[in-house]
Structure 1
Amino acid sequence: MSKETTTDPDLLIDFQGVSFIRGGNTLVGPVDWQVELDERWVVIGPNGAGKTTLIRMAAAQEFPSQGVAFVLGERVGRTDMRDLRASIGLTSSALAGRVPDDEKVGDLVVSAGYAIVGRWREEYDEADYEQAVEVLEQVGAMHLVDRTWGTLSDGEKKRVLVARAVMTNPELLILDEPAAGMDLGGREDLIAYLGELALDPDAPAIVMITHHLEEIPYGFTHAMLLDEGSVVAQGLIEDVLTSENVTKAYHQPIEVTYDDGRFFARRARTKRSGAHRK
């Protein structure tokens, strides 16, 4: 069979020359990208780099304009997208915006198994609620189970969305800036949990977007660095997240360090300050 009609069964994401174009502008691509079963990827880059667009295609939320995209072994555009989405755990600001303010946290998490947002007349088993409480405890949010969505802080909402994403035991877990809006303690709690998840051999493949190298949990194996819709570098995380590559993507001198399983980045001290971009 031709490459365009089949994919390796070990690949959960297989992008072959994929681009996304709107209004005549290429927002991302062309990209070749493969994610295997046991890999944990971080996608990083400046604002406007195309990170969210890329991830929306990987989450079966958008169709590529060009190229061939396989997700969970199915070719995007030639399969029922609803079936694909049911097997993908996703956190995103778009999802957060769809949650009714009066939705109870426990109901929001348990309803993930039914692929809905906003409980109406659905009946859930006691086992479903027990699992929801368990995942909320894992992300440090069990105390929020009876709170309503509209009363939560941004950081608390992020934790709840991560719990909802893992509730269904997905084949692929996609996290769009999961630590954004959290205070230092909340961020470190979440990163510790995601690090444990990354090291779990039974956990799903993980793809995470972040703006900050400090938010990358330990245990992540691969990275993609984007700038203006193009791939600056991708591959093993220690080969991609170098001072040279990050400097190239962010258009200013960035010094990257690695300590005890975590990455850190800061602007290198220079005699003259410079603009973010020319």
Structure 2
Amino acid sequence: MAIITLKNVTFIRNQKKILENINWTVQKNEHWVIMGRNGSGKSNLIKLIMAENWKTSGEITVLGTRFGQDRIPELRAKIGIVGSFIAERFRPDIVSENLVLTGKYNSSMLYKAFSEDDLAVARELMKQIGAGELIGRIYGTLSQGEKQLLLIARSLMIKPEILILDEATNGLDLFAKSRLLTQLHQITQLADAPTLIYITHHPDEITDDFQKLLFLRDGKVVNSGTPAQLLTADSLTDFYQEPVQIEVVDGHHFVLPQKSNLI
């Protein structure tokens, strides 16, 4: 069952083509990585899916909602998003489980009265994804990695059908990034796990939880397929347009510039 379909989608802003002739289909529970350098169009593609930007031409259908024909507000309630830019929206003195609960209302503060039962749901969700130790902690005292984990729990409060992670490891050190990727694995094991769309420009973040990759360059899809097909020296050399070599460590693919014979 396709939950995201883009057909010949082009997005033009200020007379400049940001995305051009994008064709992409995502099946339910088929977890994808969108990879590209800065400025490749990754975030703009996500904004099209969330109807924050509007296509110039082509067709977009997300979770059965066809853009231009069906209502959009209901769709947005089915999509969770996590990114470092969201972390700045919250008061530093908010308690962790209260922050998670804000996801139920899609706000940065708790404007409505809530019950102890509501908090119990938030705490249980934190435990399910390995963030139980953050219960009772003050948001402003958390590390960047802990904040990102909390934001993932928050995004799951609405039980989204799609969870988008937009360069969620930005600002994380090596160990925090590893922990976050472990938590994503736990999310894929939930009974009502959302379909993951993971945006990055780091191939070493592509774990076995992701079945498909989409390569973007200059607003165009240059390749798509499985990690086995695309995480090769030939494929990545073509993608980066620079010769590279790959070192695989514990299943993680590290891409390095190809060694030169010059001294």
User: Is TM (by shorter chain) over 0.5?
Assistant: yes
User: Given that residues 191 and 215 in structure 1 are in contact (C-alpha distance below 8 angstroms), is that contact kept between their aligned partners in structure 2?
Assistant: yes
1:25 to 16, 27, 42: 16
Matched, 1:250 2:240: yes
1:262 to 252, 258, 263: 252
Distance in 2, matches of 1:94 and 1:19, equals: 25
Matched, 1:239 2:239: no
Distance in 1, matches of 2:171 and 2:80, equals: 20
Distance in 2, matches of 1:60 and 1:103, equals: 30
Number of the residue aligned with 1:4: none
User: Given that residues 218 and 262 in structure 1 are in contact (C-alpha distance below 8 angstroms), is that contact kept between their aligned partners in structure 2?
Assistant: no
Number of the residue aligned with 2:59: 68
Number of the residue aligned with 2:132: 142
Matched, 1:225 2:195: no
Number of the residue aligned with 1:52: 43
Matched, 1:169 2:169: no
User: Given that residues 79 and 160 in structure 2 are in contact (C-alpha distance below 8 angstroms), is that contact kept between their aligned partners in structure 1?
Assistant: yes
TM-score by length of 1: 0.85
Structure 2 residues without counterparts, runs of 5 or longer = none
Matches within 5 A, 1:1-278: 10-120=1-111, 122-198=112-188, 202-258=192-248, 260-271=250-261
Kindly report the root-mean-square deviation, in angstroms, between the aligned alpha carbons of the 2 structures.
2.3
Instruction: Report how far residue 254 of structure 1 moved.
Output: 1.9
For 2:70, the aligned partner's letter is: T
User: Given that residues 11 and 17 in structure 2 are in contact (C-alpha distance below 8 angstroms), is that contact kept between their aligned partners in structure 1?
Assistant: yes
Q: Deviations over 1:210-261 (max 9, x none)?
A: 1211112322100001111111101222212222222223232222345554
**Greater Cα offset, 207-216 or 263-272:** 263-272
Q: Deviations over 1:15-42 (max 9, x none)?
A: 0111221111111221000000020000
For 1:27, the aligned partner's letter is: I
TM-score by length of 2: 0.90
Structure 1 vs Structure 2: percent identity of aligned residues? Answer: 35
**Greater Cα offset, 69-78 or 28-37:** 69-78
Distance in 1, matches of 2:190 and 2:105, equals: 25
Instruction: Report how far residue 77 of structure 1 moved.
Output: 3.4
**Greater Cα offset, 150-159 or 174-183:** 150-159
Distance in 2, matches of 1:138 and 1:62, equals: 33
**Greater Cα offset, 259-268 or 58-67:** 259-268
